[in-house]
């Protein structure tokens, strides 16, 4: 697979996890591509933690960068039927289990379903923002990321960077496969036919349990 195709490929597979009517929060980067690939008939309500429930499309007409932005400070919009809320309400929604899915990237994930993505001590200290709350509160936590970083595994036995949250991930989707986090460990449930199961395991530090119902990714 060409490097340029990877992100779209992952986003397309992630989109199939969302159900009609879901309330969804998207992290920065790759996750923002997911809405482009929603299957026909599936409409989701996107939440932006700085204060929008039901985001819309930014146009030249509705653009209002002084008053309506997303969590990255970029111009955003509210969609029909949407609402503006304050930060306490927004995180009440998130922690209170009212968000069906959050989709975010990871620097490291591990066998215990824990995730590290907010700090590289001594190098990069951007802060956790809303990520810790989202991981703890969302019903489904989907990590959408490239399988390795510069050839090094990102799916580890145990995260080495400080955790964003522990025992929180539902599913990991990469260009190589789809992995469910279970009580027994990480279960490979779908594979990209461009790779063998052996190649996927070789790119993964954690031990993968191969599902008896293993299917090709589509």
Chain residues in the site for another protein (CB under 8 A): 48-52, 64-69, 71-73, 75-76, 78, 84-88, 90-91, 94-95, 114, 124-133, 136-137, 162-167
Closer CB to another protein, 6 or 128, in the complex: 128
Cβ pair 157, 111 in contact under 8 A: yes
Given the complex with another protein, which of 55 and 174 has the nearer CB atom?
Answer: 55
Coil, strand or helix at 82 = strand
Active site annotation includes 49: yes
> How are strands ordered across the β-sheet holding 171-173?
78-84, 52-55, 45-48, 23-26, 101-104, 140-144, 171-173, 177-182, 185-191, 208-216
Residue 4 CB, nearest distance to another protein (Å)?
Answer: 26
| Annotated catalytic residue within 2, 17, 49, 194 | 49
Question: Minimum Å distance from CB 107 to another protein?
Answer: 14
Residue 18: partners with Cβ closer than 8 Å, 6 or more residues away: 24, 34, 38, 42, 44, 100, 101
Q: 62 vs 148, which CB is nearer to another protein? A: 62
For another protein, the closer of residues 1 and 83 by Cβ is 83
Closest distance to another protein from the beta carbon of 18 (Å): 23
CA distance 177 to 155: 12
Catalytic site positions: 49
């Amino acid at each position: 697979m060409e490097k340029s195709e990877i992100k779209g490929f992952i986003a397309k597979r992630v989109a199939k996890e969302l159900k009609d009517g879901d309330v969804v929060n998207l992290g920065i980067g790759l996750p923002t591509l997911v809405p482009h690939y929603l299957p026909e008939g599936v409409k989701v309500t996107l939440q932006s933690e700085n204060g929008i429930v039901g985001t819309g499309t930014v146009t030249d007409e509705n653009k209002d960068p002084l008053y309506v932005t997303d969590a990255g400070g970029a111009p955003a919009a509210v969609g029909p039927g949407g609402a503006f809320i304050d930060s306490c309400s927004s995180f009440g929604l998130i922690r209170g289990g009212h968000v069906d899915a959050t989709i975010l990237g990871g620097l490291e994930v591990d066998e215990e379903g824990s995730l590290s993505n907010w700090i590289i001590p001594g190098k990069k200290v951007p802060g956790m923002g809303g990520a810790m709350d989202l991981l703890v509160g969302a019903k489904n936590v989907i990590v959408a990321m490239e399988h390795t970083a510069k050839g090094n595994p990102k799916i580890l036995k145990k995260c080495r960077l400080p955790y964003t949250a522990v025992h929180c991930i539902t599913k990991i989707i990469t260009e190589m496969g789809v992995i469910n986090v279970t009580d027994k460990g990480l279960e490979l449930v779908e594979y990209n036919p461009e790779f063998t199961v052996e190649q996927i395991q070789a790119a993964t530090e954690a031990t993968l349990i191969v599902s008896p119902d293993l299917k090709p990714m589509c």
